[in-house]
Amino acid sequence: MRPRPGWLVGAVVAVVLCGLAAYLVYTKAVPYQETIDHGPSPQAQANPYLAAEYFLGQQGIKVEHANSLDVLPTLEPRQRTLLLLGERSNMTPRDVEQLLNWTRAGGRLLFVAEALWDESTDSSDDLLLDRVLLRQMLSKDLKEPAPELIKDRYPELTKLYLEDEEAPAYVDFDTDYHLEDPHNLAQAWANSASSTHMMQLNLGLGSIIVITDAELWKNEHIDHYDNAWLLWYLSADTDVTLLFNTDHDNLLGLLLRYFPQALLALLALIGLWLWRAAARLGPLQQPAPKARRQLEEHLQASAGFHLRHNGQQQLLHTLQQDVLRRARHLHPGFEQLAVAEQWQVLARLTRQPTRAISQALSPRPKQRLSSAEFCRLVAHLQNLRNAL
């Protein structure tokens, strides 16, 4: 059976269209390359001065990386530069003395000024900076720069001038801070338009270099301006020990930083376990007896409470009013009689002598009665009340 002509025409048209589309794609498509930035490597994230180490290594300088000052006794000071770039708030006076002795023996020490000078205490929180007699302050607290400095083309950049060089080297220190040399000890320095950011002074056989910040040598800034060149210049002809982490967090510090809730829950569980397992220091308290007090005990307790809080006069007055209230009930018009007539009516109703009734119902002096006298009056009033 022959195929139908319509099918053949459709197939030919489809092949021609596909060929045309392929030709257009081939002639119009332009190949290109795309670079995808995945961010810093794990090594660069862990070491902010990794690029500085690589750069110095490429210049033929041997670089070692240390995490604490424990390596100081093993470092030969001659032909050695120690870059102390880490945080030093926990440095002790003994650590400072060891560093300075190492420098006097011929070492080259570079460190970052960490604290501002406090005029009230005549010191700063940076023991090492105070020992070398330099001060750090805010640039905004300085006097206004001279007019010729204001015309500087690059006022935010620090210039380092060298002999036999026509132009200075430009580096980008943080211009918010300024180094002060009140005793004129510095042998060299580098300034921006308004402040000083690097000073060098001699100490024994060695030298000390103080800078306001080390951000210019971190991975993201070292390729700016002449930052890398300055690092090479300050460490030339020596081996370098790069120390930027002088205070490691211990396990407890890391747990407190990242898992405070878990530590709190653990402490609560330990406290509950100690409370449950603790030995008792005394006998167990026996439960209160279930038997109730007798009515007489309740009455005695109630009478004692009223006596303590209301006093004798209030109790005697209450009994007297109770006697008079019963008399009014038994003898209509009793309240309209004179006091002497009331006493005579009470004598007739209770069969008590009038004198006894007058003693019981007469107002009492405000001074406190003796226990015997008080009990006698209460008993007498109760007898009168019971007789009505």
Report which secondary-structure segment, H or E, holds 170.
Answer: strand 169-171
Determine how many CB atoms are found less than 10 A away from the CB of residue 236: 13
The amino acid occupying position 270 is I
pLDDT value of position 246: 43
Which CATH architecture group holds 43-143+152-243? 3-Layer(aba) Sandwich (3.40)
CB 180 within 8 A of CB 136: yes
- Each residue of 340-371: pLDDT tens digit? 777 787 777 777 777 777 777 777 666 666 77
pLDDT value of position 357: 77
Residues (pLDDT < 50) of the chain are 1, 246-248
Cα distance between residue 187 and residue 388, in whole Å: 118
**Alpha-carbon distance values, 383 to 10, 351, 376 (Å):** 135, 11, 11
CB 198 within 8 A of CB 189: yes
The amino acid occupying position 141 is D
CB 228 within 8 A of CB 218: no
pLDDT value of position 101: 92
Domain boundaries, the chain: 43-143+152-243, 300-387
Cα distance between residue 365 and residue 344, in whole Å: 23
pLDDT value of position 247: 47
β pairing state of 206-211 and 108-112: parallel
**360 in the Ramachandran plot: left (φ > 0), alpha (ψ -120 to 50) or beta?**
alpha
Give the pTM: 0.55
CB 138 within 8 A of CB 116: yes
pLDDT value of position 149: 53
β pairing state of 177-180 and 135-138: antiparallel
The amino acid occupying position 37 is D
Dig out the tokens for 147 from the structure.
Answer: 């007019």
Spell out the residues 6+ positions from residue 346 whose beta carbon is closer than 8 angstroms to its own.
323, 327, 352, 357, 361, 384
Q: What one-character-per-residue DSSP string does 132-162 give?
A: TT-EEEEGGGSPPPPHHHHT-S-TTSEEE--
Q: What one-character-per-residue DSSP string does 100-143 give?
A: HHHHHTT-EEEEE--S--BTTTTB-S-HHHHHTT-EEEEGGGSP
| Ordered alpha helix ranges (H), 235-335 | 251-258, 260-277, 295-330
- The 10 Å CB-count burial string (b at 16+, else e) for 38-64 is eeeeeeeeebbbbbbbebbeeeebebe
Name the packing angle between helices 354-361 and 339-350 (round to 10°). Answer: 120
Report phi then psi at 201, rounded to 5: -140, 155
Spell out the residues 6+ positions from residue 57 whose beta carbon is closer than 8 angstroms to its own.
63
Spell out the residues 6+ positions from residue 50 whose beta carbon is closer than 8 angstroms to its own.
43, 44, 219
CB 231 within 8 A of CB 222: yes
CB 217 within 8 A of CB 85: yes
User: Collapsing DSSP states into helix, strand and coil, what is residue 120?
Assistant: coil
Question: Around 247, how many Cα atoms within 13 Å sit in the side-chain half-sphere?
Answer: 10
CB 263 within 8 A of CB 256: yes
Cα distance between residue 219 and residue 53, in whole Å: 10
CB 132 within 8 A of CB 208: yes
